[in-house]
Structure formats: C-alpha cells, structure tokens
Amino acid sequence: MSKKEKSLNNKIQQIYSALGTEGIKELLKPYIPDIVRLNGETKGNVRCCYPENHSHGDRNPSLSVDLKKGLLHCFVCGDKIPGGMLEFVAQKRGIKNLQLINELAIQHDLLPDKSGLNKTLNLIREGGLKQHERLDEIAQSVREELSRKGKFIKTQNNEAYYFDESKHKLYEIHKDNEQFAVLLYKLGELNQADPDWKYVFNDLRLYTLSKGQESDVWKFTRWDNGKLYLSRFDGTMYVLDGENIETKNNGSDGVLFIDRNDWEPWMIEESKNEFGLKELIGQINFDTVDPSFDGITLEEYRQLFATCLLSQFFIDLLPTKPLLLFLGEKGSGKTSIIRQVGKLIFGSNFDVKTVERGKEDAFTAMVAAHFMVPLDNVDTSITWLNDALATTATGNKRTLRKLYTTATEKEIWPRCFVWLSSRTPYFRRDDVSDRLIILRLKRLPIGKFIQEGQLLRQIAENRAGLLHELLQKLNTIVAYLNKHDISQDCVNFRLADFAALGKAIWTALGGEEAAGAWERILNKMQVEQEDFALEDDPLPLVILEWMGDDNEKGPICPNTLFTELQCTAEQKSMDFTYKNARSIGKRLSNIKSTFEDRLNIKITQSKGRSNITLRTFKKIKRDG
Ligand SMILES: [Zn+2]
C-alpha cells in the first residue's frame, strides 16, 4: 500500500470511529431505508437498495451490511453497489469519494492540525535520527503538546486519564479507547496501525501514572459537599444545591466525570404534554397479590420503583446498593422497563446485556464500564453469579483478568446499580436476596398489551421533559438532605442506607405521610426477600417435617442428615430435589440467616470426628 493510500485508509478509519455505528446508519438511511431493520445490531441483512433487481422486491433481504467494517454486499447486484460504504454514499450523491471523505472529516472535526505538532513530528521523522532517539523525540513532543492543552490525571486505582481543558472532556488513556486514538490522530496524524503509536501511547500512560495529577474520576453522578453533580455527557454538568440548578464545565469544583462515548447528552425542557414520570411508572404491569394477604400493593410497588430510580442519583450515599430484580414471565415487560429507564437516562444507544457461564470477566468489565448494569434474562444457574452480585452490591473489589493486557490484573471497585430481569432466578443465596428489591411483574391480557417499540418511542420523544422533571425532584431531595442528618434513620432495616435514603426522598417529595408508607413497604419487602430465598426449595418444609415436635435435633453428620431427610420426604411423598449430602450442606450455609428469621430454626455447626461438620437444629422461641 502506498503512503497516500495508507493515509486515506487512516482517514476513513477515523471517520468510522467518529461516526460510530449509529452515525453510519444515519448516513446510509436516505439510500437504504431498510437499514433500520438492524436495530442495535452492527451486522445483518437488509432489503436491497435496488429492489427492482430482485424477485418480490427483495422480500427476503439480500443486502448484507457490516457497519463496523463499513462494508456492503449484494449477490444479485454485485458491482453495481460499491463494497465500501463511503464510496456507496458518494456514488449516490454523485460526488467524488475524496470529496465526501473531506466533507465528513471537516464535519467531525477530524482534520489533522497541519501547522502545529504535525509539522514538528514530520521534521523529527525526516531528521535522520536513530530509531530510539526518533521515538523518544516524537513521544516527548506529543506529551508537551498535550500538556499545553490539558492535564494528565491518575486515579488511586492506577487508571490514566487525559483532560482536554478546552473541550472539558476526559479521555481514558487506554489502548482500546477509540476517542483517545482520534485525539492523537488529530494532534499529530498518529495512527494506531503505526509502530510510533504504541511507543507514544506507552510513554503517555507511564508518564501519567508517575507524574500525573492525582484526582478521583466519576461516572455519571457525584454527591459532594451538599451538592449533587450530574454529567450531561457533553463536557458540562448540572450542579444541584437544593435551590438552583447550575450548568458548569466538567472539572469545575474538582469534580471530574468520565463519560462513555455512547451516552447521549442531556437536554432538558419543561414538558408541555401529558407524559411524565407518573405515566411512565403507571405503565408497568406490577403483579400484586390478593389484598387479603399483606403483600405489596400496586401503589406501593410504584413507590418502591420510583425510589430505586431516584436513589441511583445518590449512589455515593449508598455504601450498599440495592440489586433491582424484575421477576416475571415472558411478555410481562420486564426487559422493556429496564430499556426504557436506561434509554431515558443514557440515551438511545443503551441496551440490555446478558451474562453467560464462564464469562465472569465480561461481567466485571460491564461493572467497570457502566453506571447502570442491565442484565437481561438471568435464568440459568451460573456458579460465580451469587458472589458477583454480592460483591457488586457492597462495592467490594473485583478483579479483571484476561481482558486487560497492559497489566496482569486490573482492580475494579464497583460503583454501579445492577438491574436484573429473570423468570427463573438461581441467585437465591441469602446475602444476595437480602439486597434484592424484588419487583414482580405479570403479563398483560391481549388487547391491553402495548408494543415495546411504542413505549420506547414515548421515552425518546419525551426525554427532555422527563429529565427536566427528574432534575426538579432531585433538587428538592438535595434541599432536604442538606437540612437533615439521615445517618441514624432506618438502622434496623437490612438495606439500611437505601431505607434511610428512601425515607428522605419521600419526606422531601411527599411529606410525613409518604414517609410512613415507605416504612410499611420496607417491612413487606423484607418478607418478600425471605420468601424469595426459600421459594421453590423443598428443604425448609422437609426439615420442619423431619423435626416434628422435637425442639432440637442433632448434632448430626451430613450423610446421616441426607439419608434421614430423603427418608422423611419419601414417607410424606414430598418433592426432594437434593441428590447428596454436599448439596444440602452448601444450601444450608447459603440460607442460614433466612432459616432463622423465617422458620425460627437456628442452625449451629460443630466439628466431629475427622473434622466432619456436624449440625444442630434448634427451634427458637419468640415472644408473641
Ligand atoms: Zn441487490
């Protein structure tokens, strides 16, 4: 490849990076309307732009599209459609390929700065230096240029960032960060494919880690000194002090936000139409039980959901974060509500993710990268999931191993909210269920069912109004938090921080009455958590049956316990799914506290011969 071709190729790559897959789709849409069929996918088949060449107007789509690689191909039309997307668009517009590329480069501010650093680097490149001297000189010039325009930041976790002071934008100095690559390209036509790049990159990273200014870096929101800071994802942020809502540049007041590239900037506007947060929440199909049971009512579910939504913004007041679980069958809208909230806050690129067995690193990477971690259809047994959820909720360290190559391991301190949807949850260990907010959903009858597309359109159309309403509510809560110490509220509840924040939210928004209702919800929620931990598990009933009228049984070794329980279950024709002593032992340690709270049976352990674990079951007498 000639130098000229290479430079052109680089330019096209930069344009693809800057446009992103959504931008490329927009570019193609006027000529390939069916491109919308791809939805969130980056690859697939759509209806050809020359339907007349196909039978039945190409009803079975034959134009294959790869947005990431920028390629188009139709077997029938062949050369009539250029393989490169930019060439295709240029052909359709009737302009030269180069003209389009330059147009887009200008539009996306991608023209390299020919006068400044570029000139210097070219002088160094042509200066006949030895290779290592040349690389050193290049790296030093890039570093100096970046220092003039911004500052290098390192965090306590040894992450390296660069803050562009003119655009108030923070970049992670990471080899996979395309935005940082674009920055280096613009600055000195440095391209990731060139050997110079790697040297410059490593130099910048090491320089930052040794000499960078130490600072914390936040995702999305920060509570600091009585003020709530919210990134608008465009280099500015909202600052809520309880009275005013100000807009300041990112980095002001020492608060630095790192935004994901796919987060869509916040625009707010006071809404003139009827669709507000109340209507959004009103569309959720909560599954309430018969009111004669003391279950969670529809109004209470709505209040609980609203609390979860609002409390996300005050993540810094929640050392332990609740895990939000939407529990319901297919068609109950559990995935849709997660999408709606995600798209409201983070924009149209937000979508749900899945977890897979053997992919714990992918989970940890998600926790590191996102603020709202949306896990969809978590319906299979995954051995690491209980631990992963428990550590994420408490913000304990997680380690990322394989995906990170610049160091052997990367430490992650989770600061995010996990939203789960499930039909058959397997994550029922009691240190997980104690942190779950369980929102049960049901299917709507046919006829009342609203298409998901319509719900999402509603969010997109009303985003500015909904965000405006959210901001006003948040500011009211900020005012309350600044006048009251909430640290001693609700200490008796399991999710004490969340309970106290919820109480503050409802006192601020709805007065004493709403706060009282909140405490009733908390009590019902604890019962719900205990039921959840034991649901579908035959063990508690079989143990109750096995104990009979005895107040105490044991100490008993695992094998005898297994045989006796199996025997009891057989005699009473009860289901018993446990296959061995080990699985019973494991389950009992997982739900020990639930046994105590719910069944009033205390299980104690002691060591027997050859270090075998013996268990004693004792009924607890409670007053009343
Ligand atoms: Zn075709």
Other CB atoms closer than 10 Å to residue 496's CB: what's the count?
18
The three state secondary structure string of 263-285 is CCCCCCCCCCCCCCHHHHHHCCC
**CA 17 to ligand 1 center in whole angstroms:** 27
**CA 80 to ligand 1 center in whole angstroms:** 8
**What is the band of 317 on the pLDDT scale with cuts at 50, 70, 90?**
very high
**CA 51 to ligand 1 center in whole angstroms:** 6
Other CB atoms closer than 10 Å to residue 424's CB: what's the count?
12
Residue pair 236/148 in contact by the 8 Å Cβ criterion: no
Q: How far apart are CA 145 and CA 442, in angstroms?
A: 58
pLDDT at position 430 is 83
The gap between the terminal CA atoms of the chain, to the nearest Å, is 86
**CA 18 to ligand 1 center in whole angstroms:** 28
> Which residues are paired to 399 by β-bridges?
411
Considering only CA atoms, which of 202, 81, 46, 86 is closest in space to residue 135? 202
The pLDDT of 335-351, averaged and rounded, is 95
**CA 53 to ligand 1 center in whole angstroms:** 6
Distances in Å between the Cα of 143 and the Cα atoms of 177, 181, 469 are: 18, 14, 44
**CA 32 to ligand 1 center in whole angstroms:** 11
What pLDDT digit, counting tens, does each position of 26-38 carry? 899 999 999 888 8
**CA 10 to ligand 1 center in whole angstroms:** 29
The pLDDT of 226-250, averaged and rounded, is 96
**CA 63 to ligand 1 center in whole angstroms:** 6
pLDDT at position 146 is 94
Considering only CA atoms, which of 438, 420, 306, 435 is closest in space to residue 366? 420
**CA 50 to ligand 1 center in whole angstroms:** 5
Instruction: Indicate whether 107 pLDDT > 70.
Output: yes
The pLDDT of 414-419, averaged and rounded, is 96
pLDDT at position 402 is 58
Residue pair 371/341 in contact by the 8 Å Cβ criterion: no
Q: How far apart are CA 104 and CA 101, in angstroms?
A: 5
Residue pair 333/445 in contact by the 8 Å Cβ criterion: no
- What six digits make up the tokens of 105? 């480069």
Scan for tokens 């034959």, then name that residue: 62
**CA 33 to ligand 1 center in whole angstroms:** 14
Most confident of the following: 404-408, 446-450, 565-569: 565-569
The pLDDT of 457-483, averaged and rounded, is 96
Q: Burial-class residue 320 by CB neighbours within 10 Å (0-12, 13-18, 19+).
A: middle
Q: What is the mean pLDDT of the chain?
A: 89
Residue pair 526/296 in contact by the 8 Å Cβ criterion: no
The pLDDT of 117-143, averaged and rounded, is 89
Considering only CA atoms, which of 419, 393, 262 is closest in space to residue 335? 419
Give the single-character DSSP code of 252: G
Residue pair 539/547 in contact by the 8 Å Cβ criterion: no
**CA 60 to ligand 1 center in whole angstroms:** 11
pLDDT at position 211 is 95
Considering only CA atoms, which of 376, 388, 466, 366 is closest in space to residue 432? 388
Q: 447 or 51: whose pLDDT is higher?
A: 51
**CA 16 to ligand 1 center in whole angstroms:** 24
The identity of residue 44, as a single letter, is G
The pLDDT of 514-539, averaged and rounded, is 88
Give the single-character DSSP code of 49: S
Long-range contacts of 381-386 (CB under 8 A, 24+ apart): 381/426, 382/355, 382/356, 382/357, 382/426, 383/357, 384/360, 385/355, 385/426, 385/427, 386/427, 386/429, 386/431, 386/432, 386/590
**What is the band of 89 on the pLDDT scale with cuts at 50, 70, 90?**
very high
The pLDDT of 603-608, averaged and rounded, is 90
**Domains with residue ranges and CATH for the chain:** 3-107 (3.90.580), 117-214 (no CATH), 221-254 (no CATH), 283-463 (3.40.50.300), 539-619 (no CATH)
**CA 56 to ligand 1 center in whole angstroms:** 12
Instruction: Indicate whether 451 pLDDT > 50.
Output: yes
**CA 89 to ligand 1 center in whole angstroms:** 15
**CA 55 to ligand 1 center in whole angstroms:** 10
**CA 52 to ligand 1 center in whole angstroms:** 8
Q: 617 or 123: whose pLDDT is higher?
A: 617
Of the listed ranges 52-66, 373-387, 400-414, the one predicted with least confidence: 400-414
Instruction: Indicate whether 431 pLDDT > 50.
Output: yes
**CA 96 to ligand 1 center in whole angstroms:** 22
pLDDT at position 114 is 64
Query: Which three-class secondary structure state does DSSP give residue 382?
Result: coil
Instruction: Indicate whether 446 pLDDT > 80.
Output: no
**CA 71 to ligand 1 center in whole angstroms:** 14
**CA 469 to ligand 1 center in whole angstroms:** 47
**CA 68 to ligand 1 center in whole angstroms:** 21
pTM (predicted TM-score): 0.78
The pLDDT of 385-390, averaged and rounded, is 94
**CA 59 to ligand 1 center in whole angstroms:** 11
**CA 191 to ligand 1 center in whole angstroms:** 35
Burial profile 41-68: b = 16 or more Cβ within 10 angstroms, e = fewer: eeeebbbbbeeebbeeebeebbbebebe
Instruction: Indicate whether 302 pLDDT > 90.
Output: yes
Residue pair 199/205 in contact by the 8 Å Cβ criterion: no
**CA 75 to ligand 1 center in whole angstroms:** 7
**CA 211 to ligand 1 center in whole angstroms:** 56
Other CB atoms closer than 10 Å to residue 304's CB: what's the count?
24
The pLDDT of 300-312, averaged and rounded, is 96
The pLDDT of 509-524, averaged and rounded, is 92
Of the listed ranges 17-21, 358-362, 421-425, the one predicted with least confidence: 17-21
The pLDDT of 458-484, averaged and rounded, is 96
**CA 44 to ligand 1 center in whole angstroms:** 14
The pLDDT of 229-241, averaged and rounded, is 97
**CA 67 to ligand 1 center in whole angstroms:** 17
pLDDT at position 292 is 62
**CA 69 to ligand 1 center in whole angstroms:** 19
**CA 220 to ligand 1 center in whole angstroms:** 44
pLDDT at position 624 is 47
**CA 92 to ligand 1 center in whole angstroms:** 15
Scan for tokens 């807009």, then name that residue: 247
Of the listed ranges 72-81, 117-126, 206-215, 612-621, the one predicted with least confidence: 117-126
**CA 27 to ligand 1 center in whole angstroms:** 19
**CA 73 to ligand 1 center in whole angstroms:** 8
pLDDT at position 222 is 98
What pLDDT digit, counting tens, does each position of 42-51 carry? 889 999 999 8
Residue pair 100/93 in contact by the 8 Å Cβ criterion: yes
**CA 57 to ligand 1 center in whole angstroms:** 10
Considering only CA atoms, which of 205, 501, 258 is closest in space to residue 371? 258
Query: Which three-class secondary structure state does DSSP give residue 258?
Result: coil
**CA 488 to ligand 1 center in whole angstroms:** 68
- What six digits make up the tokens of 227? 């003020």
Query: Which three-class secondary structure state does DSSP give residue 73?
Result: strand
Instruction: Indicate whether 334 pLDDT > 70.
Output: yes
